[in-house]
Amino acid sequence: MVSLPSVPQNLDEFEAVLRETSGSDQAPSVAYGISRRGETVISGAFGFADRERTVLATIRTPYQLASITKPLTATVLAILAERGVVHLDEPINSQLSGIKIQSRTGNADQVTVRQVADHSSGLPTHYQFYYGDEPSVRPSVETQLRRFAKTFTSPGERHVYSNLGYGLLEFLLEQVSGLSLAELMKGELFDPLGMVDASLGNRDSREVAVSYGPDGVPYPPYDFDHRGGSAAFASVADLLAFGEAHLGFGPSILSPGGLADAHRATSYSETQAVYGLGWGIRADRHGYRSISHTGYMGGVSTAIRLIPELDLTIVILTNGQSDLPMMFTDYAVSALSQEYRNKLVPSLLTPATPLPMNPVPERLFGTWSGSVETESGHRLLELEITSSNTAIVHCHGTVQDVQELHWRSGRIFGMFDADLEASEILKSPYRIHLDLSERSDSLSGVALTMTTLLDGPGGAPGKRFGNALGFWTELKRPNL
């Protein structure tokens, strides 16, 4: 008989779970808070923010937020939109000076600001880290946007989570305001909401929670080419104030209509609405509407969740790598709502349904030839599909079997190891992940290079969170 998960039935049990978890390499510390109708229900912290200096975590300890930076950036965007400084539903290229989105398919001039914010613009998956003790230097945002701000699907066609889009929004906000995004966040969010521990950009490591890898080794300070999507710091107290403002409690930063617009799902996966203006949206999570965001990167795992029907804001911050924070937000709601708990427990016993890996249609069998487009030149690529689940790839001098070849929703997926010898790829080795759509006479889409961690993940050199960069790829049959 399968035993039921130990889901907390009250707040004492909830805190006990967090206390037991803290101190592990997954979560050297856990800081947490729950508020209802603008009043703190419970908050606290367990474990060390800095193991080496034996500094305990508190609800005022600034943690790296990772992707919880996105709702902060999107809220600044919404504030400026209410003032008419930016226009969410008009093309972003018409509001940018100098740098423009380019298109490899579809029309880049039709991509709206909102589509960039809800990840339906057509920009590819992208993340890139620059560690303080490594020789690579962060290029300017302008350089990276010229290299990578290219749409690989038509606007609105597909939800593809892209940090690059939030680097682009950072660039837009700074252009239209004449201020840095750090200054905008401080003036529009942090000061009005009393978020006194919050900031954007690198900070003295002695002031913040140290980020630890799964090997227990601390990460050095690091930077991004997508600060608007990843570079914020804040404490539990800060994020409770931010969440409360989004639920209409505390100081007003947006009109009721502006808040409703930010919480409206506008980008969709294959099966459901998934994203609004900087927030993940679930119409029904165990009986309640959920507005949330998580953060995950080297030595960082975070979550914020709003439950409007219950007037709840829940914040979980850790300085390790795991999927625990989002689970803990479920536990928090369960501790306060028996109805939620009754639906959560069975869901934990049901295995997640994997995305289908369908056989490749026979009409696509044969040889497809073309190239991967990099800044260093076009790299020849030939894909020979020999059966419904096998293919051989010839790429820039490498011949390999394609791994996990499959078909889904009109697209071919597979991966292989190769070196494109492209100057913009700063970390190797890496694996190339193909995601190619069947179009009228071609297979086209993205070759995504993702760093391979040969020795497993960790904070030590060679184990750190790597990079993912997308390159336009187009293949045709030789006789076409």
pLDDT in tens, the chain (480 residues): 334 458 999 999 999 999 999 999 999 999 999 999 999 999 999 999 999 999 999 999 999 999 999 999 999 999 999 999 999 999 999 999 989 999 988 899 999 999 999 999 999 999 999 999 998 889 988 999 999 999 999 999 999 999 999 999 999 999 999 999 999 999 999 999 999 999 999 888 789 999 999 999 999 999 999 999 999 999 999 999 999 999 999 899 999 999 999 999 999 887 666 999 999 999 999 999 999 999 999 999 999 999 999 999 999 999 999 999 999 999 999 999 999 999 999 888 888 888 889 999 999 999 999 999 999 999 999 999 999 999 999 998 899 999 999 999 999 999 999 999 998 888 889 999 999 999 988 999 999 999 999 888 999 999 998 999 999 999 999 875
**Among positive and negative, which fits the CA dihedral 115, 327, 69, 453?**
negative
The number of distinct structural domains making up the chain is 2
Alpha helices in 220-357 (DSSP H): 227-230, 236-246, 256-262, 324-336, 338-349
Domain check: are 424 and 386 in the same one? yes
Residue 229 lies in a domain: yes
Q: Which residues, 6+ apart, have CB-to-CB distance to 195 below 8 Å?
A: 189, 234, 237, 238, 239, 241, 242
Asked whether residue 14 is domain-assigned, the answer is no
Domain match, 311 and 417 both: no
CA dihedral 110, 111, 112, 117 (to 10 degrees): 170
Same domain flag for 274 and 412 = no
Q: Give 90-154 as a DSSP string.
A: SBSGGG-SS---EESSS-GGG-BHHHHHTT-SSPPP-B-EEETTSS--PPPHHHHHHHH-EESS-
Distance separating alpha carbons of residues 412 and 23, to the nearest angstrom: 43
* Nearest alpha carbon to residue 79 among 304, 257, 267: 257
The answer to whether residues 225 and 296 belong to one domain is yes
- For residue 468, is it within any domain? yes
- Identify the CA nearest to 169 among candidates 79, 92, 246: 92
Same domain, residue pair 306 and 415: no
**Domain span holding position 295:** 32-349
Closest CA to 290 of 302, 271, 276, 270: 276
Tell me what pLDDT residue 60 has.
98
pLDDT at residue number 303? 98
Bridge partners for 449 per DSSP: 432, 469
**Among 283, 317, 349, residue at a domain's last position:** 349
378 and 324 share one domain: no
Check whether residue 59 and residue 156 sit in a common domain.
Answer: yes
Closest by Cα among 352, 333, 458, 451 to 26:
458
Q: Is residue 439 part of a domain?
A: yes
Ordered DSSP codes for 276-296: -SSSEEEEEETTEEEEEEEEE
> DSSP labels for 399-461?
EEEPEEEEEETTEEEEEEE-----TT--S-SEEEEEEEEE-SS-EEEEEEEEE--TT-S-SST
Q: Judge if 335 and 375 occupy the same domain.
A: no
Domain end point (choices 349, 375, 397): 349
Q: Is residue 247 part of a domain?
A: yes
Domain boundary among the residues 326, 349, 372 is at 349
Say yes or no: 113 and 180 in one domain.
Answer: yes
Q: Are residues 421 and 332 in the same domain?
A: no
| Residue bearing tokens 């010839």 | 394
Show Cβ contacts of residue 415 under 8 Å, excluding neighbours closer than 6 positions.
Answer: 402, 403, 404, 431, 432, 433, 434
- Residue 371: inside a domain, yes or no? yes
What b/e string do you get for 115-124 counting C-beta neighbours within 10 Å, with b at 16 or more? bbbbbbbbbb
Residue 160 lies in a domain: yes
Q: What is the CATH number of the domain that holds 68?
A: 3.40.710.10
Q: Are residues 273 and 226 in the same domain?
A: yes
Q: Is the pTM of this model over 0.85?
A: yes
Q: Is residue 6 part of a domain?
A: no
56 and 93 share a domain?
Answer: yes
